[in-house]
């Protein structure tokens, strides 16, 4: 029988988090804030159905036979961002959602040769084609082609009398461009671009031309996000170098056999998760199979190299961080298997992790509400981060453990003690590695970019408190539970079938299963060590 204990303070904190989550969500609904609301939803048209629709269209309309397909989710990020930032979502949906969707299935259809390759856009809500383009391009702009282009516009449900041919725009675009002064959303006009080869329309792409004022806003935001991401990479690299130096200096006081299991776990999850994203995107986005194959080889080598560097850096940070907390503070921040209380530490760390997770989720929802109200923050769809573009969507929630283990070790366990030694100030010792960590989360498509930095930095203080109060195991569990919950919900909503719902529930329960398994097995497998074990983990936190 496994004994259970109830932490009243953390239970109260969890209840506060749950209340904050639902109250903030209700305020979102009342204020109709469309900026940072979760945009999860299940498309009415499945990927398989989209592929079949594209193949049928390619056969009947484009004369493509023996078709091979790859399907991915894609979106018009700039127009999506413009309509949200300008509060024009309803105007767009009422007038153009049915004909010019900003989110769609992008189906790469290949015939008998690489030269017979098309990208076909299929609606997410109706099994209908909304546009297509041949790869590679190369269209003619003659009179015969203009007639074919006008015919195509009519066939796609647009009246040629209302859409005027613009020769100057056509020369610039390399395809026939038609405009209608009445077809606008805010300051974004709709353009119909038609590419013709040998008298046949091989490209039809209706798209909004985002106003320059929005591009003048968003481009600096994207550059800022890139700069902050590079700042995080640079700061993390410096932390890794410092860990290496400390490991060399204090090598006699470090057991290098420790942490091998965690390091190998991070290495495997890193490789699998990143290949999961890269392979799915490359298959569907690149023109030919040969290009995709070469790109996948390069991506695989690059990902494995980064995985090895990340795993080694984390391993050294783990060993040095534990050694420094023990040496400088006299604190056993990371209990080991040979400790008599290891099973209990893991079990109760898991329980605390779930409770702290609920509080963090509530705080995050409050921060979203503040960001939307104060900074007019908004999120746009990002195909590079979509579960639909993963090779193995079922593995998506594994990323939760990659983030939880590596980030809590590098930025909390190692970063805090190193900066505490250097600066002799606990607040700054928490703040600096926390900012390095938060900078790495600004690459998501949330604008203004700095709002993501503020949000993650605030959450980082909660994780830091968790580590300093309860130790590494609780911090890892709190982080893993939070990310697992969010990713599992995303998986279940994206793929609402029995298999993926079951997997989602498994991922949410996985931290608990690990906690119970370790608590059950450790007393039965544990043996008295020859050397005296480290003192038990004591809750601590400086005032």
Question: Over the stretch 407-416, which tens digit does the pLDDT of each residue have?
Answer: 999 999 999 9
The residues pairing with 201 across neighbouring beta strands, listed in sequence order, are 196
Same domain? For 127 and 236 the reply is no
Q: Give the integer Cα–Cα distance in Å for 91 and 124.
A: 19
Judged against a pLDDT cut of 70, whether residue 28 lies above it is answered with no
Reduced to 3 states (helix: H, G, I; strand: E, B; else coil), residue 333 is coil
Number of domains in the chain: 2
CA distances to 210, 220, 385, 450, 453 from 215, in Å:
7, 9, 22, 18, 22
Does residue 275 lie in a domain region? no
Same domain? For 394 and 468 the reply is yes
Does residue 513 lie in a domain region? yes
61-87 per-position pLDDT tens digit: 888 876 788 899 999 999 999 999 999
**Residue 170 domain boundaries:** 47-210
Judged against a pLDDT cut of 80, whether residue 290 lies above it is answered with no
438-490 per-position pLDDT tens digit: 999 998 889 999 999 999 999 999 999 999 999 999 999 999 999 999 999 99
Q: Give the integer Cα–Cα distance in Å for 412 and 461.
A: 10
Does residue 330 lie in a domain region? no
Closest CA to 437 of 396, 479, 468, 487: 479
Same domain? For 409 and 377 the reply is yes
191-205 per-position pLDDT tens digit: 999 998 888 888 999
Does residue 277 lie in a domain region? no
Same domain? For 224 and 108 the reply is no
As given in the structure block, the two tokens for residue 145 are 């082609």
Burial of 18 (0-12, 13-18, 19+ CB in 10 A): middle
Q: Give the integer Cα–Cα distance in Å for 201 and 428.
A: 62
Reduced to 3 states (helix: H, G, I; strand: E, B; else coil), residue 251 is helix
Question: In the chain, helix, strand, coil percent, each to 5?
Answer: 65, 10, 25
Same domain? For 239 and 144 the reply is no
Same domain? For 80 and 102 the reply is yes
Q: Give the integer Cα–Cα distance in Å for 431 and 178.
A: 54
Q: Give the integer Cα–Cα distance in Å for 163 and 226.
A: 39
Torsion angles phi and psi, residue 72, rounded to 5: -140, 160
Identify the pLDDT of residue 432: 97
Rounded mean pLDDT of 174-182?
90
214-268 per-position pLDDT tens digit: 999 999 999 999 999 999 999 999 999 999 999 999 999 998 989 999 999 999 9
Q: Give the integer Cα–Cα distance in Å for 439 and 461.
A: 14
Reduced to 3 states (helix: H, G, I; strand: E, B; else coil), residue 411 is helix
Residue recorded with tokens 């023996």 = 66
CA distances to 420, 430, 448, 458, 465 from 427, in Å:
9, 5, 27, 13, 11
From the centroid of its chain, how far is CA 337?
33
Closest CA to 370 of 58, 28, 65, 98: 28
- The last residue of one of the domains, among 179, 210, 241, is 210
Identify the pLDDT of residue 110: 85
Contact 107, 76 (CB under 8 A): no
Q: Residue 543's pLDDT band (boundaries 50, 70, 90)?
A: very low
426-435 per-position pLDDT tens digit: 999 999 999 9
Same domain? For 230 and 114 the reply is no
Q: To 5 degrees, how large is the angle CA 223–CA 227–CA 233?
A: 145
- Across the beta sheet with 129-135, the strand order is 68-75, 103-110, 117-123, 129-135, 200-208, 188-197, 176-185, 164-165
Same domain? For 160 and 177 the reply is yes
Residue recorded with tokens 């600004």 = 442
Q: Give the integer Cα–Cα distance in Å for 277 and 301.
A: 15
Does residue 244 lie in a domain region? yes
Same domain? For 137 and 204 the reply is yes
Does residue 51 lie in a domain region? yes
Between 41 and 166, the higher pLDDT residue: 166
C-alpha dihedral, 455 to 457 to 459 to 464, nearest 10°: 180
Q: Give the integer Cα–Cα distance in Å for 476 and 266.
A: 13
Q: Give the integer Cα–Cα distance in Å for 116 and 68.
A: 11
Does residue 280 lie in a domain region? no
Closest CA to 356 of 514, 507, 479: 479
Percent with pLDDT over 70 in the chain: 90
Does residue 469 lie in a domain region? yes
Closest CA to 86 of 272, 211, 253: 211
- Count of residues for the chain? 543
Any idea which of 284-293, 345-354, 499-508 has the lowest mean pLDDT? 284-293
Same domain? For 118 and 27 the reply is no
β-strand pairing of 117-123 with 188-197: unpaired
Q: Residue 540's pLDDT band (boundaries 50, 70, 90)?
A: low
Q: Give the integer Cα–Cα distance in Å for 289 and 283.
A: 7
Reduced to 3 states (helix: H, G, I; strand: E, B; else coil), residue 313 is helix
Same domain? For 133 and 81 the reply is yes
- The last residue of one of the domains, among 210, 236, 263, is 210
Same domain? For 121 and 31 the reply is no
Rounded mean pLDDT of 275-303?
73
């Amino acid at each position: 029988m496994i004994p259970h204990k109830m932490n009243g303070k953390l239970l109260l904190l969890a209840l506060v988090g749950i209340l904050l989550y639902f109250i903030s969500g209700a305020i979102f609904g009342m204020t109709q804030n469309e900026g940072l609301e979760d945009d999860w939803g299940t498309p009415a048209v499945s990927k398989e159905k989209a592929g079949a629709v594209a193949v049928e269209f390619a056969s009947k309309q484009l004369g493509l036979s023996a078709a091979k397909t790859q399907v991915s989710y894609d979106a018009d990020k700039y127009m999506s961002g413009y309509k949200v930032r300008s509060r024009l979502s309803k105007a767009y949906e009422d007038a153009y959602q049915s004909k010019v969707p900003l989110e769609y299935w992008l189906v790469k259809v290949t015939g008998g040769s690489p030269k017979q390759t098309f990208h076909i856009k299929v609606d997410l809500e109706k099994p209908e084609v909304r546009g297509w383009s041949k790869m590679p391009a190369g269209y003619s702009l003659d009179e015969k082609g203009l007639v074919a282009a006008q015919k195509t516009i009519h066939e796609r449900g647009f009246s040629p009398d209302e859409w005027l041919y613009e020769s100057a725009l056509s020369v610039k675009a390399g395809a026939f461009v038609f405009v209608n002064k009445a077809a606008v959303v805010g300051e974004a006009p709709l353009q119909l671009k038609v590419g013709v080869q040998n008298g046949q329309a091989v490209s039809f792409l209706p798209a909004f031309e985002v106003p320059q004022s929005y591009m003048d806003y968003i481009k600096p935001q994207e550059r800022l996000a890139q700069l902050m991401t590079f700042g995080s990479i640079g700061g993390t690299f410096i932390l890794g170098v410092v860990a290496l130096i400390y490991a060399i200096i204090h090598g006699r006081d470090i057991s290098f056999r420790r942490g091998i299991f965690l390091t190998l776990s991070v290495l495997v999850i890193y490789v699998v998760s990143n290949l999961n994203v890269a392979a799915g995107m490359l298959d569907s986005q690149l023109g030919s199979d040969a290009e995709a194959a070469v790109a996948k080889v390069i991506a695989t080598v690059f990902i494995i190299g980064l995985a090895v560097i990340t795993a080694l850096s984390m391993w050294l940070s783990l060993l040095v961080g534990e050694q420094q907390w023990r040496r400088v503070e006299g604190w056993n921040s990371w209990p080991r298997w040979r400790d008599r209380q290891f099973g209990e530490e893991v079990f109760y760390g898991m329980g605390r992790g779930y409770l702290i997770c609920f509080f963090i989720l509530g705080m995050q929802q409050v921060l979203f509400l503040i960001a939307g109200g104060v900074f007019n923050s908004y999120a746009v769809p990002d195909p590079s981060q979509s579960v639909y573009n993963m090779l193995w969507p079922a593995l998506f929630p594994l990323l939760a453990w990659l983030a939880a283990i590596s980030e809590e070790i590098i930025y909390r366990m190692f970063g805090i003690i190193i900066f505490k030694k250097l600066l002799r100030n606990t607040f700054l010792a928490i703040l600096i590695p926390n900012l390095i960590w938060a900078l790495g989360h600004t690459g998501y498509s949330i604008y203004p970019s700095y709002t993501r930095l503020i949000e993650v930095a605030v959450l980082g203080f909660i994780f830091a408190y968790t580590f300093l109060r309860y130790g590494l195991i609780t911090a890892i569990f709190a982080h893993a539970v939070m990310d697992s919950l969010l990713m599992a919900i995303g998986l279940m909503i994206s793929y609402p079938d029995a298999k993926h719902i079951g997997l989602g529930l498994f991922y949410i329960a996985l931290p608990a299963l690990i906690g119970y398994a370790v608590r059950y097995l450790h007393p039965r497998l544990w043996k008295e060590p020859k050397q005296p074990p480290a003192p038990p983990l004591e809750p601590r936190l400086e005032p």
